[in-house]
Every structure is written in C-alpha cells, then in structure tokens.
Amino acid sequence: MNILFEAFKQSIELVSTFNTDLYEILLLSLKVSCLSLFFSSLIGLPLGTFLAIKNFWGKDITLIFFNTMMGLPPVVVGLIVYLLISRSGPFGWLGILYTPTAMIIAQMILIIPIIVSLTAQTIEEIHQEYKLLFYSLVVPPHKAVIAYLFEARYLILTVMLAGFGRAISEVGAVIIVGGNIDHLTRVMTTTIALETSKGNLSLALALGIILLSIALFTNFILIRLKIRAKQRMYV
C-alpha cells in the first residue's frame, strides 16, 4: 500500500513540475492519436455514411467485414504493418519503420473499422428519417453524405471518441512498429509498459493518471455538448 501511495505522490510531482520527459511523451501520444483519428475520420465517416444510405450487392458482407475488423488484435496489426514496412517488405523503401508515421498507420488500421461500423449504425437510423425528404429535395449524393453527418454530429462525436479511445490506449501495434524509441516514438502506453517492467512505477502511474484524465476530460466535454444539444433537440 505504501509503495502505491509513494508512486502516486511521485506521479503528482512529475505532473505538477512539468517534467520534460513526461510532457514529451504526452504530446507525442496526443499527436499520433489525433492524427490517426483525423485521417481515419476522413476515410471512415464518408465510407460509413455511404454504407448506411446506399443499397448495393455485397453491402451486408462489407458491414460484417468492418464489424469483424473492430476486434482486430493490435499486435497482429502491428506485425502486419511491420512486415509491410520493414526493409525487406513491399513498402520498405518508404523508410518509415520506427517512426511516428508507422504508428499512425497502424492506429488507422485499428480505428477505421470502428469509425466505419459505428458511423454506419448511427447514420442508418437518421437515414430512415430523412431519406424521403432528401430524395424529394433532389439532394445530390455528396451533399446528402455531408448533411447526414451534420445531422448526426453529436452522435458522430461519440463515434470519434471511441476511435480516439482505441488509439490512445493502444500499445501492442505501436510498440512493434514504433519500437518505443526514447525521444522519437515513445508514447504513454509504451512507456507505461516499459517503466512497469523496470519497476519505475511513479512515471508509469503518472502517465496512467494523465491518460485517465484525458479520457475523463474528453468525456466530460462530450456529455456537456450532448446535454446542450438534447435541450435543443439536435440529438
């Protein structure tokens, strides 16, 4: 119990004294996760909306595929990306192994199925409400996709938060393709794993606290936004 208390005290100290290493790791984690979320959203949101509003042969299979991909084991993704971008792999010439770019790619592979599947489910409900109106107004398909996403904006924020949660808490893939190199690819989760194995619990715990705080803060903002939106019947 004393060890835990001591580690907790030290972790608070690290956070409050703006420890350089700690904040470097934190900023890189946020950068990698936010960028992977951004690029995944660019692909996943329109794709999910398209799957929700269009009927085509193979739609069910596509949805099943993305639903299944939601449960992809991160280490497997890490291994596949590693094989693809390692020097002897087909994309070895890019020279991105053990860089944040590789980590972003690995996280995108993990996040895109989540965003596609959850967006498709969300938009399907809204589509039932608006399909006749949009068709009656002769809304062009690309504008319809944007309109559906806008109408579901508060629910889409939850979808994106789920993606962000997966990205920032992920360790298996980023440790394989990033290599956990100090000052280069070391992020919160990989540091937690490393420092715990070294017995340096204070840094690990400090990062854990920050990780939880980020999750709490983003959820708090989202819930406030949703409450306000519900009052205006925008959800």
Partner 1 sequence: MSKKVFEYAQNLTPIQLTNLSVVVGQKIILDKINCKIKSNSITAILGPNGAGKSIFLQTINGLVSVQSGRLTFNLMENNQEIREQQAMVFQTPVLLRRTVMANMQFVSNLRNKESNRLLKNILNKVGLEGYEKKPARLLSGGEKQRLSMARALMVNPNLLLLDEPTANLDPYSLNLIEDLVLEENSIGKTVIFTTHDMSQAKRLATDVIFLNKGKVLEQTISKTFFKSPKTVEAEKYINGEILI
Positions touching partner 1 (CB under 8 A) are: 129-130, 132-133, 135-140, 143, 147, 150-151, 232-235
Shorter beta-carbon distance to partner 1: residue 103 or 144: 144
Which lies closer to partner 1 via its Cβ, residue 76 or residue 137?
A: 137
User: CB-wise, 124 or 151, nearer to partner 1?
Assistant: 151
Q: Specify the residue for token string 């109106």.
A: 133
| CA-closest candidate to residue 131, choices 226, 41, 233, 55 | 55
Minimum CB distance to partner 1, residue 170 (Å) = 33
Taking the least distance from each CB to partner 1, the nearer of 31 and 226 is 226
Q: How far is the CB of 62 from partner 1 (least distance, A)?
A: 24
177 and 86 Cβ atoms separated by less than 8 Å = no
Number of helical H runs and strand E runs in the chain? 10, 0
Compute CA distances 132 → 50, 70, 82, 139, whole Å: 16, 31, 47, 10
Least separation in angstroms between residue 133's CB and partner 1 is: 4
Find the shortest distance in angstroms from Cβ 205 to partner 1. Answer: 42
Distance, CA of 170 to CA of 205 (rounded, Å): 16
